[in-house]
A and B are shown apart, each in its own frame.
Chain A
Amino acid sequence: MATISLETIRKVYAGDVEAVKGVSIDIADGEFIVLVGPSGCGKSTLLRMIAGLEDITSGEARIGEKVVNKVDPADRDIAMVFQNYALYPHMTVYNNLAYGLKNRGTPKAEIERRVKEAARILEIGDYLDRKPRALSGGQRQRVAMGRAIVREPAAFLFDEPLSNLDAKLRVQMRVEIKRLQRELGTTSVYVTHDQLEAMTLADRLVVLNGGNIEQIGAPIEVYQNPASTFVASFIGSPAMNLLKVTAGEVGLALESGSGLSGPNSKGKDRYTLGIRPEHLEVSDGPTDGDGLSLEVTVNVLELVGAESFVYASFADGGPEIVLRVPSHARYTPGETLHLKALAEDVRFFDADTGKLIG
């Protein structure tokens, strides 16, 4: 168990490709950190630098008190779970789990105790004599987890461990990983591009974009107050509606010309207005007050079961917006809707930098 601290970590590949551009994070002991971002954002590279599988171009990485920049992966006291599990195909499940311990000179009885314990926790006790090729995807995933657990390392590193599983197993394993991490209290860094996984697993989320950190925070904090339009559109499904508006004499105007009335951002006349789909509400007509009020035409109604999504657009074109409605609500394409939202639910972003205002 240990803290992990990264200080202005950079990774530059041959040919001057800068994959990670000076990232600093302090991870507390026992914390579950999720690195999330689109492909190519540098999240995997960052994780691999913590593991020691990639060299750190500049900056300093510490696990516990020790600077690990030049430390061999095997000496960093970390365990990693790979996307394709990376089980040793020629070894039985037992030997897959025991291999890392054997190489560290752990006594045989202790290895046996730990493997048995991990097998019990993960319910893989029946497969210990099998080779990985005789296991299903979910079982392999458990063995990969087991290989990490038996080591009792200072930190777990997960590199998209669930992306090769089918949807149902993924949800099941997600819950299990979270439970396991709570029980063991081991510091964990988890990489994923799946924002749902990120939201549900993380104590703190690190949203990465183009090698930079966009935002660090508790999942709900990131969801409610995204630091930028990038985070707003990446976290949450469907994403936050973003409307580029100019404040006129009467209300606000979209670039396409459509008007709407809404709260003013302090002191700016051009800004991006953000509103989550669930905060938009259908009203009987135009509303007054300092809330958001707009008029749209329904394009599509998407039924997903527990709720429905309405995709609608403004009279003069412009951005399509999404709102979340109860599953029993029925709207037909072409129908005109008046929408409103509370002023407190509206977020403002700088029109040029995309950063959250206020």
Chain B
Amino acid sequence: MKRVQFSSASLPYLYLLPQLAIIVVFFYWPSVQAIQSSFYLEDPFGFGSTFVGLDNYTDVLESSSYGEIARFTVVFTLLVTFLSLSLALLFAVKADAVLKGSSTYKTLLMWVYAIAPPVAGLMGVMFFDMHIGPFLEVARLVGWDFRIGLNYFDTAFAMVVISVWKQIPYNFIFFLSGLQAIPKSLREAGAIDCRSGFRRFWTITLPLLAPTAFFLLIINMTYALFDTFGIIDVVVKDKAANNPITLVYKVYMDGFRGGDLGGSSAQSVILMFVVFVLTIFQFRFIERRVHYN
């Protein structure tokens, strides 16, 4: 890293100010507000609030629906992360091996990324729609009476499929550029040392992709936890009822639909804590095994 000498001691802070201002206004301030209001019982019509201590937290953690939604969130996050990472890696490896017309393949695989999550959700909902959805034709062939929005499992299935579909291009771009950064001579040395392409992939390609994969793991978990909000919102059509939802969606429903600002704040503080722990875990235990060049 290059060291730069500043003429005045305050100048570097001045340069950092815009970034710091954004973080303070859009992260620290709302976080502090959330923590604060999680200790209060808020009047839904804004006529003042009462301090209730940890009541909001105990209410949240004791409710059975919260536990169920938390379980679904864990399963959903793991599924979406695993599937979108592994499928994207598969596509990237295959696209990397294509010689003729490779740019066409790459473009086709990438452009889904340009679609906004709610639009992706809408397209998915139409794909799985009970009246016009083409997927239902396929499901009917194997005797699956697919009912999105009515059947818990079917709705969850659609959510996972749409979320994975939306995230694959992003992962694909990173995996592909990671693959292309592996020197050709290294692959050739591998080809001479190891006959099995599968084994070569596990012992040479994958370890060299590990930094990319680790970065994507964090990004994908965050995506599955938070950024799938738009997709879930479109799938459940703003009324969750008995459909599966994730914790973030519950924060939104309780706070903005249910008017329980205190409870919603408590939930978001819990979520913040979980993500915090998760990130520390990832950096401490997984990054250690990652080889950086």
Contact = CB atoms under 8 A, between A and B. Distances in A.
Interface of A: 51-53, 72-75, 78-80, 82-84, 86-90, 99-100, 103, 133, 147
Interface residues of B, number: 20
A78 B192 CA distance: 8
Nearest to A148: B192
13 contacts: A51-B188, A52-B191, A53-B191, A73-B192, A74-B194, A74-B195, A78-B192, A80-B192, A86-B186, A86-B189, A90-B208, A99-B193, A103-B195
Given A73-B192, A100-B193, A86 B183 contact: yes
Nearest to A81: B189
Contact of A73 (B183, B191, B291): B191
Given A89-B208, A103-B196, A74 B191 contact: yes
B196 A90 contact: no
A101 to B, nearest CB: 9
Contacts, number: 61
A100 B199 CA distance: 12
Contacts of B196: 103
Contacts of A84: 183, 185
Given A89-B291, A99-B203, A133-B293, A82 B189 contact: yes
Interface of B: 183, 185-186, 188-196, 199, 203-204, 207-208, 210, 291, 293
Contacts of B204: 88
A99 B183 CA distance: 18
Those 6 A-B pairs whose CB atoms lie nearest each other, nearest first: A100-B193, A74-B195, A86-B185, A86-B189, A90-B291, A103-B194
A80 B188 CA distance: 9
Contacts of A75: 195
* Residue of A75, A78, A88 ringed by the most chain B CB atoms within 10 A: A88
Contacts of A99: 193-194, 203
A89 B194 contact: no
Nearest to A79: B192
Contacts of A103: 193-196, 199
B125 to A, nearest CB: 44
Given A52-B192, A83-B185, A88-B189, 8 more contacts: A51-B192, A73-B188, A74-B195, A80-B189, A89-B186, A90-B207, A103-B194, A103-B199
Nearest to B182: A89
A82 B185 contact: yes
Contacts of A80: 188-189, 192
Contacts of A73: 188, 191-192
Contacts of B191: 52-53, 72-74
B188 A82 contact: yes
B208 to A, nearest CB: 6
Contact of B192 (A74, A87, A89): A74
A78 B189 CA distance: 11
A100 B207 contact: no
A100 B186 contact: no
